[in-house]
Structure 1
């Protein structure tokens, strides 16, 4: 019991001395540490500075870890190389040009379609206003109002005549159809280039072929009006051609290895079927659309001459209004303006130029199919042709038929008589 009391006194005295010694420790003077202050900036600028610093340090850390991993694994990991990188870059460059051409033709086509509508409406308003002025002048008494109406109607008729000459020369509806079709073909070429890149390993021949197609489209559908515009009233109607001269595509080694196993999908039945389809395309579909193109062209020529002629005669009648005692000047001025507005609406409202270009492009489509079929048939080596099964499917879909319908149509076309089949090859248009 005594020992316990002694130990407790000792511990109490120990903690009390520790507490007393702790209270007697001298106080430490804390000096202020001066830190450099950042220049006064806005909160947005400081946040940008911090974000840039964090992103920079993170990027450097990733690069350091990347290089450290590469140095450690350089003996085991092989270097990765991309074959034909130059051809890939060239095809990507051509794709950018094609996309730009497509957008240009699309915008210019919309602009020229607006030309057709606005100019047609303006000419009709001018001719009808002039005819109304002549009618008012004929029933009015003599004096200054008659002179004003005569002069106004003459000016309107002369302006309408000039505008009709320009409109009939350039055919805005036909120009718009050209640009629409060019935009569609450039879009199709863009899809072909994407498909070719997705297959991988492009060659220099693919680059040359893509450039030839772009230049052929530029020549077939020019953008400017002066100098390079297509002839709107040609002497002879021919199918539209927008493709370069077709030639056999050089096969790559891997394709050649696959196709040497058989006859590349071709046999005597398929060759005979393609020959009959090519004959039907030339004798029926292409010939029919060329015939329709000639009829539309002749009708458009008549209307293109009749419109300015009628407005010119109406202007002549407005000049002689009131100076002679006959009524022929009034009849010529009023009737000529009314008939001219009808002719203008029929020609440009009906878009005969667009119809003509559409028929030419349809016949060109059949001509392209015929050339493609003949190119494959005339090639003696079947391994240099397109795959027969795929080619048959492509021809069937382009004509709007199934494979069974295509074979039935080819069987209906006789090999001896060329005009015995009344059905057209295409069901699409």
Structure 2
């Protein structure tokens, strides 16, 4: 400490020259031009933030909406499988019942024909033929009421529509930004299909013989899209062609399907009455076998005709063959209001 104090006192006693004795250096700084300087563009940064935010909204949608869509998607997928299985089951019912009734009817007709052979057991064949005709008549009445062939077709349509809805929901989940409106629309469509294609056989099943034929309106009303017209990727020419096709469907196909539907309904009613009536006539003819020459003819012909009627009614589905839509809209545009093509080429 003593040495440090001594050194300090010696340093303080030094005679240093004053700063005024040194020449002051002259420093020249370059002039900086400030007229070319501008503030950063805030607007561009704001637009960049908006783009990032919009991308974030697409990548990270609302978790609650996504959860609801996944729940609806799971229910739709389950319904697709259920309607496919039930449709196959009801198709098997139709094939089994139709084959059984035709076999019973033809066997009864064969027994009625055998009674004309000399030495045949008349009483046994008569009773057997009569009871088999009566059994076929009862089964036909029940089958014509339930119409399992139509039930199978209903399940095929339900599975097709639910499959379409399933693909639509998956597309919205993968590439779109789903909202609560999408959830509500999907739920309305599921409920609409459930009402249009019920599963119970009795009580709520679709009327097989409606009193009036009219276009089916069951799909919920689609909300108006407020997005710009060019957001869907369609050009003007394609939109015009689709409008022409819709016009063709309204003018030609709607009236044609209503006309054919009325004819099909009348034919179905006639066949539904004719089948049990013919088997009933066969049963009456079997009762009088051996007592009248016309009894055997009525018994045989009634069974044969009943089998043919049943096969047409329950075994023959009138379907549409797949074909391409070729120049339908173009031909309508060339011919004006004279429409000759049908829009069913779409299907």
TM-score by length of 1: 0.61
| Alignment correspondent of 2:270 | 302
| Alignment correspondent of 1:327 | 293
* 1:339 partnered with 2:305: yes
Q: Deviations over 1:360-398 (max 9, x none)?
A: xx9xxxxxxxxxxxxxxxxxxxxxxxxxxxxxxxxxxx9
| Alignment correspondent of 1:9 | none
Q: Deviations over 1:392-411 (max 9, x none)?
A: xxxxxx99547xx4652352
Secondary structure, counterpart of 2:116 in structure 1: helix
| Alignment correspondent of 1:390 | none
Contact 2:126 2:286 in 1 (8 A): yes
Equivalent residue in structure 1 for 2:279, among 311, 324, 337: 311
| Alignment correspondent of 1:409 | 331
- Distance in structure 2 (CA, Å) of the matches to 1:200 and 1:273: 26
* 1:194 partnered with 2:194: no
| Alignment correspondent of 1:150 | 126
- Distance in structure 1 (CA, Å) of the matches to 2:117 and 2:331: 68
- Distance in structure 1 (CA, Å) of the matches to 2:231 and 2:310: 62
Q: CA deviation at 1:286?
A: 2.0
- Distance in structure 2 (CA, Å) of the matches to 1:349 and 1:264: 45
Q: CA deviation at 1:266?
A: 7.5
| Alignment correspondent of 1:428 | 346
Q: Deviations over 1:109-167 (max 9, x none)?
A: 1011111111111111101111121222333448xx32222211111001100111111
- Distance in structure 2 (CA, Å) of the matches to 1:350 and 1:169: 17
C-alpha distance 407-299 of structure 1, shift in aligned 2 (>3 A)? closer
Aligned residue pair count:
289
The 5 Å alignment of 1:120-159 reads 120-141=98-119, 145-159=121-135
- Distance in structure 2 (CA, Å) of the matches to 1:151 and 1:247: 66
Q: CA deviation at 1:263?
A: 11
C-alpha distance 424-108 of structure 1, shift in aligned 2 (>3 A)? same
* 1:277 partnered with 2:199: no
Q: CA deviation at 1:239?
A: 3.0
Contact 1:310 1:337 in 2 (8 A): yes
C-alpha distance 212-319 of structure 1, shift in aligned 2 (>3 A)? same
Secondary structure, counterpart of 1:139 in structure 2: coil
The 5 Å alignment of 1:21-100 reads 82-100=60-78
Q: Deviations over 1:166-202 (max 9, x none)?
A: 1112221111111111111111111100000012432
Q: CA deviation at 1:271?
A: 7.2
Secondary structure, counterpart of 2:86 in structure 1: helix
C-alpha distance 408-140 of structure 1, shift in aligned 2 (>3 A)? same
Q: CA deviation at 1:108?
A: 0.6
| Alignment correspondent of 1:244 | 220
Secondary structure, counterpart of 2:208 in structure 1: coil
Aligned CA-pair RMSD: 2.9
| Alignment correspondent of 1:180 | 156
Contact 1:318 1:333 in 2 (8 A): yes
Contact 1:138 1:330 in 2 (8 A): yes
**Which runs of 5 or more residues in structure 2 are unaligned?**
1-58
- Distance in structure 1 (CA, Å) of the matches to 2:215 and 2:249: 13
